[in-house]
Amino acid sequence: MFSAALSFTPALAQHKGDITLTSGPGAGLTQSKCQICHELRHIERARLSRGEWADNLKNMRERGTPMSDEELAIILDYLAAYYSRDPAPPPAPDTLAAGGGDPIAALLQAHACSTCHSVEKAVVGPAFRDIARRYAAQADAPARLAQKIRQGGQGAWGQVPMPPAATLSEPELTTLVQWVLQQK
Residue 167's pLDDT band (cuts 50, 70, 90): confident
Domain that holds residue 135: 103-181
**0.75 surpassed by pTM:** no
- Least confidently predicted of 27-41, 88-102, 167-181: 88-102
22 and 76, same structural domain? yes
Report if residue 125 sits inside a domain.
yes
48 and 107, same structural domain? no
- 37-55, pLDDT tens digit by residue? 788 888 988 899 999 999 9
155 and 117, same structural domain? yes
Report if residue 95 sits inside a domain.
no
More confident residue, 100 or 82: 82
Distance CA 103, CA 161 (A): 26
Residue 110's pLDDT band (cuts 50, 70, 90): confident
Question: What distances in angstroms separate CA 70 from CA 17, 45, 122, one per listed residue?
Answer: 30, 25, 20
Report if residue 97 sits inside a domain.
no
Asked if the model's pLDDT at residue 99 lies above 60, the reply is no
Secondary structure class of 117 (helix, strand, coil): strand
Distance CA 141, CA 134 (A): 9
